[in-house]
Structure 1
Amino acid sequence: MRKSVLIAVAAVSLLGACGQPKGQATNNAVAENVPAAAEGSNELIPMTALASKNETLKVMHERHEGMEQIGKSSKVIRRSLESASPDVAQIQKAAATIADLASKSNGWFPAGTGPEAGKTGAKPEIWQNQADFSAKDHAFVKAAQAFNSTAASGNVDAIKSGFADLGKTCKACHDKYRSDMHH
């Protein structure tokens, strides 16, 4: 019974992707296999497993790419803030990217997408301590939203302070739940 339900979900996902640009179809197929949290919530939704190894690898890839982009955007912001004349427009663009990706982060960690599934910087402790991990992810999302608003103000001193606050939420999670990956 469960297998037929999973096959039906996969078929609907594939049919729903027809006619969409390639990247959008892939993202929708992944999103449909990762349940969203309740409206206004950023709670991690526990899952027993994704339907297939391919879906698991897609989610892991999306997570990796999202985190890489957050890291690159953070570097852009840091470099700009360290310069003699910070580029506020560049900071605002990077802050918006971080806020957008942060809003998706609660769907990046379904069960079965840890080290047992392949190369990842995500430690098994994420799934062993879901409540704590979810709280740290929620704090990151809130800080990313607040930083995006602060960046939009254009006040460089406030941006520096907001960026430090955002960095603290990244560090709190990475210290406990991320292992170093050597490429």
Structure 2
Amino acid sequence: MRIAVLTALASVSLAACGQEAAPTNTVAASETNAAEATPTVATPAAAPATKEEALKVMHERHEGMEDIGKATKTIKRSLDSSAPDVAEIQKSAATIAALAAKSSTWFPQGTGPDVRKTGAKPEIWQTYPDFAAKDADFAKAAQAFDAAAKTGDLNQIKSAFGDLGKSCKACHDKYRSEMHR
């Protein structure tokens, strides 16, 4: 059960950053008790079979990240206004949470800058366990923010939005390069 929850959380985190969940390897700590299972070192999913498939994953990742960015800007604009629109915040929070759930699948091997220009740094695949942990943190923060938004309490929303931003920054500072179009 814990593995399923951890895997779901990892998927949610990455989706919020616009990344899909990559499968993780798990080892049962006790064959007689599945609840005692613990995850092993995360590894990225295998590379897509063709360049076209890699480009499709990269496009999905880009679009997911763009949607997360747009939702984040909508939330910030609303929170900065004199009369925040809670319904708008809730809708954007749900979008981020849904995408965060997919993000761990957006970074399989073979979808980095060696395929085409991307904001994803090679360090993602070189230090994947750290990247996957940051993505899991993002998914968790996205779910917590969505839950806070559903309460309608602006103090809870602002606090959870700050935590969400910190989780995005932790990953982007290390694993995202600036792209100039």
Distance in 1 between residues matched to 2:63 and 2:25, nearest whole Å? 24
What SS does structure 1 have at the residue aligned with 2:104?
helix
Partner of 2:92: 94
Corresponding residue to 2:168 among 164, 170, 176: 170
Aligned residues: 148
| CA distance 1:89–1:44, change in 2 (3 Å) | farther
Q: Distance in 1 between matches of 2:53 and 2:160?
A: 36
CA RMSD of aligned residues (A): 1.9
Equivalent position of 1:128 in the other structure: 126
Q: Which residue of 1 aligns with 2:152?
A: 154
User: For residues 28-107 of structure 1, what are the structure 2 equivalents within 5 Å?
Assistant: 36=23, 45-107=43-105
Q: Which runs of 5+ in 2 are unaligned?
A: 1-20, 27-38
Whole-angstrom distance in 2 between the partners of 1:162 and 1:54: 38
Larger Rg: 1
2:121 maps to a residue whose letter is: K
Distance change >3 Å, CA 38–CA 74, structure 1 → 2: farther
| Shift in CA distance, 81/129, structure 1 to aligned 2, threshold 3 Å | same
TM-score w.r.t. structure 1 length? 0.77
**Is the alpha carbon distance of 1:84 and 1:35 closer, same or farther for their aligned partners in structure 2, counting shifts above 3 Å?**
closer
Q: Percent identity?
A: 63
TM-score (norm 2): 0.77
Indicate the structure whose relative CO is greater, using CA pairs within 8 Å and at least 6 residues apart. Answer: 2
Counterparts of 1:80 and 1:63 in 2: how far apart (Å)? Answer: 26
Q: Which has the higher helix share?
A: 1
CA distance in 1 between counterparts of 2:148 and 2:63 reads 25
Deviation at 1:44, TM superposition (A): 5.4
Maintained 8 Å contact 1:56/1:112? yes
Alignment partners' CA distance in 1, 2:171 and 2:60: 18
Distance 1:55 1:171 in 2: 29
Distance 2:123 2:22 in 1: 21
The residue type paired with residue 84 of structure 2 is P
**What code does the residue aligned with 2:145 have?**
F
- The letter of the residue matching 1:144 is A
Q: Shift in Å at residue 144 of structure 1?
A: 0.1
Q: Are 1:117 and 2:94 counterparts? A: no
The 5 Å alignment of 1:5-16 reads: none
What is the alpha-carbon distance in structure 2 between the residues aligned to residue 92 and residue 102 of structure 1? 15
